[in-house]
Structure 1
Amino acid sequence: GEDERSWQAAYSVDLAGLGIEGLRYDVAYVRGDNIKTSASSNGHEHEFFNQIQYKIPSGFAKNLQIGIRYSVLRVSSDASDYNAGGNEIRVIAQYPLSIF
């Protein structure tokens, strides 16, 4: 948000030790404050997310990443006109392309 200050604590672990090369788990907590809106100049929000991701290590689809993320976002009432918050599940697919 406008004038927002934020900090993040995150942790990632490579789960290849479980016998699946390319498997990774990420978790993070993000906190933001000082959000300027029409109602306040000190709105705040916080988000927790965790994600499991698999990157295909070889073959035709090498480097294709598929992941699923669950996020929980909470926003203070004085910043609700900026963002409503809520819970969400995302399915993410990424594939790098070399153009040049």
Structure 2
Amino acid sequence: MYGDENSSDELEAIHAARLDVDLEMAEMNASADAWHAVRNRGFCNHGSAVGYLGSPVREGRKILKPGQLACTAGCGTVFANDEDWYAQCGDPMANPVALPAPAGA
């Protein structure tokens, strides 16, 4: 502490820092709840993707052209470019893609 501070200043700073963490955690929990709500409704949220490679090592990448990405979160949607994928990740329900039915369902 500095000479012009007292313990109440320090406690106020600690309380403010804890409040910031609590608000950040609440925001992350709300984002996770929204993510799971999309999946629970049976739609893909496009949470991961692979891009084009000059010499594809996996079968799924052979369909891609330069700049394209393919969803690996369950639906296999091909996106035209990074911006298209980011837009779909940001709002997967703007253009919803149904997940395939689970095997044996």
TM-score, normalised by the number of residues in structure 1:
0.24
Q: As a proportion of its length, which structure holds more helix?
A: 2
Determine which structure has more spread, i.e. the larger CA radius of gyration.
Answer: 2
Q: As a proportion of its length, which structure holds more strand?
A: 1
TM-score, normalised by the number of residues in structure 2:
0.24
